């Protein structure tokens, strides 16, 4: 960068560093997490050694560091790690980096401990910390985020609830947190005796009761009438929100309880003990104070040090260095999707190519997706409890009938609103899908998940900021649903109001179920001309109709009778730029017009009508809320669709999808309306390859 006519070069010194662990090398974006290190598998010339925490597997690395007088740097998963478990293949979105010790080893200092003691946390960082804490609790985020929320029946509402946290036998945090089996027994005894009128809930790992792993609390101690065992896999925050008090040894869930505003009693020496925010029962807490390893600190000071300073993050959407807010946003969306898709989903009659396109949108821990070749085979399948049927669009009549006969709930999917560079009818795969558990957005005859979001969701300032960023990104990058067409619109000089009438595919479901009065392109043109005899009318046929793939063509003599100009291959955005108003049945162009500040008249019932943002010819009584444009954007582009990276085939957000489409659009060598047979087959082959890669 240049400053005062001088060239300033910023150089980041990197330290040659050896990593012996094969597991660490498998971490995606490792060099992004560790930019200050030049990483190598070879020890020659190394000036530092990196290993994973205090695992026995680090003995070689630690011995090498000691022998050669090199610093040892410990890595561990961060406190907001991923959607699913590491053993299931889910990579970390955060790690902690410690060149002093490691946070769960309180036998010696750690970088986290030093950060808390030094306390270089200003008012701005504390404000950021509080914002992050509030989001984490509101979105119920933890280290792993695949578990379902705590069912209401698990915790009795008419009695005080005390939560006791067991841990799996051999947990490193127990050994290095000054605890053993007796510590857990003492904790349970104290919880029972100190809370005689409460129900004691013991959270243990499901593998403990199944015999796969051992816990510390003995089974016979858990059989008392006022003790309830919770062995289910439960979202930690949702459980903590329902209890009144928490007893723990060294579990990080104890700190999460503090974030939820619960009093916490510690019996071991977790990293958050001894700072004045917990009731600490371990004998060595006093020693930590007298040796100046502890000092009074607030909860937000601890949180800021651990989550903002100690932890490192990548942006899961881009793989670049990120912040806690990038990870919170991503995990919140991923958790919502995981909950929506939880269970067994059956999809009938999908081609291999469509299966390949679909799979990454359903790649979440709790979703088991089954493809069945025919309805006959589905009928012969013994379906598990709570199975659901997954259908495209509204669903074929025979599938809907089958679902009704067998009381199978339906999930519907459709292309998203920011889709691709090229048409779906030309077999261009989508970057986004909507997956709806109530209906589908284009069917105004029934409510949809999108309608429920727009009608009921309490949008936040954070939502507003994101939505406004999306609006700017979409308009500046000139992104639409398909991003097809070429050339600018040539409009003659006129003082008339310019009305854009976008044509649609006439047998499209959005017309059949969302435009009961006017459902033909020609009829729409007639109605617009009749109501606006003095206007200059642009008619833009639908790209799928222009390509010859779908129906909806208007004879040239008819379009000339009602429209002043017919625009074929021209980019829809160039038409919007010239238009004062958009008149449509249910076209997505109406939504894209709203994004660009245009007046929109709706002759049907699209998803964006009925909220006070459009001039509507038909009523829709279910939509009673008046919303702002940014709330419409947030609901439509943030909370309703899912987005997938076309190459990496992992979940991304809308902002990243826009950036990808911008790059693809710039690289495209054609208008996207026509695609050869060979190109279509190659596209199919690529998707099939990626699905098994």
- Region for 333 from its dihedrals, namely left if φ exceeds 0, alpha if ψ lies in -120 to 50, beta otherwise: alpha
Can you tell me the distance from the alpha carbon of 427 to that of 681, in angstroms, rounded to the nearest whole number?
9
pLDDT band at 514 (very low <50, low <70, confident <90, very high): very high
Mean pLDDT along residues 77-93:
94
For residues 602 and 609, the answer to whether their CB atoms sit within 8 Å is: yes
Write the CA distances from 551 to 191, 521, 545, 668, integer angstroms: 71, 10, 6, 26
| Interaxial angle between packed helices 654-667 and 461-477, expressed in degrees from 0 to 180 and rounded to the nearest 10 | 0
Contacts of 69 (CB under 8 A, 6+ apart): none
Instruction: Provide the percentage of residues in the chain whose pLDDT is more than 90.
Output: 74
The angle at the Cα of 514, spanning 513 to 516, to the nearest 5 degrees, equals 85
Phi, psi values for residue 47, rounded to 5°: -115, 5
Stronger pLDDT, 34 or 153, i.e. the higher one: 34
Write the CA distances from 647 to 322, 360, 417, 687, integer angstroms: 21, 11, 20, 9
The shares of helix, strand and coil residues in the chain, as percent rounded to the nearest 5, are: 35, 15, 45
pLDDT surpassing 60 at residue 687: no
pLDDT band at 48 (very low <50, low <70, confident <90, very high): very high
Among 482, 478, 498, which residue's Cα sits nearest to residue 490? 498
- For the chain, the residue count is 693
CA 69 remoteness from chain centre: 44
Cβ burial of 653 (10 Å; 0-12, 13-18, 19+) is: buried
For residues 356 and 690, the answer to whether their CB atoms sit within 8 Å is: yes
The per-residue pLDDT for range 294-324, each reduced to its tens digit, is 999 999 999 999 999 999 999 999 999 999 9
Contacts of 479 (CB under 8 A, 6+ apart): 418, 473, 658, 661, 662, 665
For residues 406 and 385, the answer to whether their CB atoms sit within 8 Å is: no
Mean pLDDT along residues 179-195:
96
- Region for 340 from its dihedrals, namely left if φ exceeds 0, alpha if ψ lies in -120 to 50, beta otherwise: alpha
Write the CA distances from 523 to 39, 519, 549, 585, 603, integer angstroms: 67, 7, 21, 10, 11
Give the pLDDT confidence score for residue 667 in this predicted structure: 77
The per-residue pLDDT for range 534-580, each reduced to its tens digit, is 999 999 988 777 776 677 788 888 888 999 999 877 788 889 999 99
Give this prediction's pTM: 0.88
The angle at the Cα of 533, spanning 532 to 537, to the nearest 5 degrees, equals 70
pLDDT band at 677 (very low <50, low <70, confident <90, very high): low
Cβ burial of 632 (10 Å; 0-12, 13-18, 19+) is: buried
Give the pLDDT confidence score for residue 2 in this predicted structure: 34
- Average pLDDT in the chain: 90
Write the CA distances from 347 to 108, 195, 339, integer angstroms: 55, 51, 18
Give the pLDDT confidence score for residue 487 in this predicted structure: 66
Stronger pLDDT, 278 or 352, i.e. the higher one: 278
Phi, psi values for residue 573, rounded to 5°: -70, -35
Stronger pLDDT, 674 or 196, i.e. the higher one: 196
The per-residue pLDDT for range 346-355, each reduced to its tens digit, is 999 988 888 9
For residues 678 and 430, the answer to whether their CB atoms sit within 8 Å is: no
pLDDT surpassing 70 at residue 162: yes
Mean pLDDT along residues 476-503:
84
For residues 483 and 421, the answer to whether their CB atoms sit within 8 Å is: yes
Which tokens sit at 326?
Answer: 């990038």
Mean pLDDT along residues 97-122:
96
pLDDT band at 515 (very low <50, low <70, confident <90, very high): very high
Contacts of 9 (CB under 8 A, 6+ apart): none
Can you tell me the distance from the alpha carbon of 617 to that of 226, in angstroms, rounded to the nearest whole number?
62
DSSP 148: P
Which tokens sit at 128?
Answer: 């950021």
Give the position of tokens 């469509």: 354
CA 447 remoteness from chain centre: 24
Mean pLDDT along residues 496-524:
92
Q: Do strands 279-280 and 264-266 pair parallel, antiparallel, or not at all (unpaired)?
A: parallel
Stronger pLDDT, 672 or 462, i.e. the higher one: 462
For residues 586 and 600, the answer to whether their CB atoms sit within 8 Å is: no
| First-last CA distance in the chain | 41
The per-residue pLDDT for range 574-613, each reduced to its tens digit, is 899 999 999 999 999 999 999 999 999 999 999 999 999 9
Among 121, 79, 115, which residue's Cα sits nearest to residue 327? 79
Contacts of 219 (CB under 8 A, 6+ apart): none
Mean pLDDT along residues 103-109:
96
Lowest mean pLDDT among 106-110, 400-404, 680-684: 680-684
pLDDT surpassing 50 at residue 11: no
Which tokens sit at 299?
Answer: 């909860």
The per-residue pLDDT for range 221-257, each reduced to its tens digit, is 787 888 999 988 999 999 999 999 999 999 999 999 9
Instruction: Provide the percentage of residues in the chain whose pLDDT is more than 70.
Output: 91
Give the pLDDT confidence score for residue 6 in this predicted structure: 43
Write the CA distances from 645 to 81, 326, 431, 687, integer angstroms: 20, 16, 7, 12
CA-based radius of gyration for the chain: 29
Q: Do strands 94-98 and 311-314 pair parallel, antiparallel, or not at all (unpaired)?
A: antiparallel
pLDDT surpassing 50 at residue 3: no
Q: Can you list the alpha helix ranges (DSSP code H) found in 421-538? A: 449-456, 461-477, 509-512, 521-531
Query: Residue-wise over 383-398: b if at least 16 C-beta within 10 A, else e?
Result: eeeebbbbbbbbbeee
Mean pLDDT along residues 630-637:
98
Can you tell me the distance from the alpha carbon of 410 to that of 391, in angstroms, rounded to the nearest whole number?
7
Which tokens sit at 141?
Answer: 């985020």
Can you tell me the distance from the alpha carbon of 591 to that of 635, in angstroms, rounded to the nearest whole number?
12
């Amino acid at each position: 960068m240049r400053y005062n006519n001088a060239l300033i070069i910023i150089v980041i010194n990197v330290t040659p560093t050896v990593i012996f662990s094969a597991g660490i090398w498998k971490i995606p974006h490792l060099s992004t997490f560790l930019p200050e290190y030049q990483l190598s598998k070879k020890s020659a010339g190394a000036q530092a050694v990196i290993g994973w925490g205090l695992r026995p597997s680090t003995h070689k690395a630690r011995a090498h560091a000691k022998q050669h007088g090199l610093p040892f740097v410990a890595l561990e998963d961060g406190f907001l790690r991923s959607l699913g478990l590491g053993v299931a293949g889910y990579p970390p979105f955060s790690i902690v980096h410690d060149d002093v010790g490691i946070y769960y080893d309180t036998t010696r200092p750690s970088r986290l401990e030093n950060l808390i003691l030094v306390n270089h946390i200003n008012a701005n960082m504390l404000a950021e910390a509080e914002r992050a804490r509030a989001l984490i609790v509101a979105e119920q985020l933890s280290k792993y985020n695949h578990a379902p929320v705590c069912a209401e029946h698990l915790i009795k509402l008419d009695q005080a609830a005390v939560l006791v946290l067991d841990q799996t036998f051999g947990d490193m945090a127990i050994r290095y947190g000054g605890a053993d089996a007796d510590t857990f027994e003492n904790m349970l005894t104290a919880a029972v005796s100190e809370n005689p009128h409460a129900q004691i809930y013991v959270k243990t790992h499901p593998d403990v009761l199944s015999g796969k792993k051992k816990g510390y609390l003995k089974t016979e101690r858990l059989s008392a009438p006022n003790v309830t065992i919770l062995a289910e896999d439960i979202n930690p925050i949702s459980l903590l929100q329902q209890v009144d008090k928490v007893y723990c040894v060294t579990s990080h869930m104890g700190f999460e309880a503090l974030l939820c505003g619960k009093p916490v009693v510690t019996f071991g020496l977790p990293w958050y003990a001894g700072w004045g925010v917990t009731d600490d029962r371990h004998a060595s807490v006093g020693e930590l104070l007298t040796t100046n390893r502890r000092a009074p600190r607030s909860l937000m000071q601890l949180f800021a040090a651990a989550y903002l300073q100690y932890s490192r993050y990548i942006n899961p959407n881009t793989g670049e260095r990120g912040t806690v807010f990038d990870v919170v946003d991503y995990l919140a969306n991923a958790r919502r999707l995981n909950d929506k898709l939880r269970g067994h989903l059956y999809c009938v009659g999908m081609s291999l190519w469509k299966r390949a396109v679909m799979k990454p949108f359903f790649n979440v821990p709790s979703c088991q997706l089954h493809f069945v070749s025919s309805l006959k085979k589905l009928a012969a399948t013994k379906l598990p409890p709570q199975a659901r049927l997954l259908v495209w669009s509204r669903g074929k009549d025979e599938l809907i009938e089958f679902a009704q006969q067998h009381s199978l709930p339906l999930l519907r999917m459709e292309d998203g609103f920011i889709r691709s560079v090229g048409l779906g009818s030309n077999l261009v795969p989508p970057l986004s899908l909507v997956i709806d558990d109530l209906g589908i957005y284009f069917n105004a005859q029934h409510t949809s998940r999108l309608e429920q979001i727009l009608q009921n969701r309490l949008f936040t300032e954070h939502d507003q900021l994101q939505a406004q960023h999306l609006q700017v990104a979409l308009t500046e990058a000139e992104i639409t649903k398909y991003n097809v067409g070429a050339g600018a619109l040539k409009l003659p000089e006129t003082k008339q109001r310019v009305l854009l009438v976008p044509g649609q595919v006439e047998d499209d479901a959005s017309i059949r179920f969302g435009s009961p009065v006017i459902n033909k392109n020609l009829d729409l043109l007639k109605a617009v001309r009749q109501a606006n005899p003095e206007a200059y009318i642009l008619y833009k046929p639908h790209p799928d109709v222009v390509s010859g793939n779908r129906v909806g063509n208007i004879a040239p003599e008819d379009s000339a009778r009602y429209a002043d100009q017919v625009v074929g291959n021209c980019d829809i955005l160039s038409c919007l730029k010239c238009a004062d108003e958009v008149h449509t049945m249910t076209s997505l162009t109406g939504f894209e017009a709203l994004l660009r500040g245009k007046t929109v008249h709706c002759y049907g019932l699209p998803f964006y009508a009925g909220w006070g943002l459009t001039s509507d010819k038909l009523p829709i009584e279910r939509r009673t809320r008046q919303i702002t444009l940014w709330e419409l954007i947030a609901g439509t582009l943030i909370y309703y669709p899912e987005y997938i990276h076309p190459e990496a085939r992992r979940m991304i957000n809308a902002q990243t999808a826009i950036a990808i489409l911008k790059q693809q659009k710039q690289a495209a060598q054609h208008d996207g309306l026509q695609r050869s047979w060979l190109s279509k087959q190659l596209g199919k082959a690529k998707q099939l390859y990626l699905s098994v890669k």
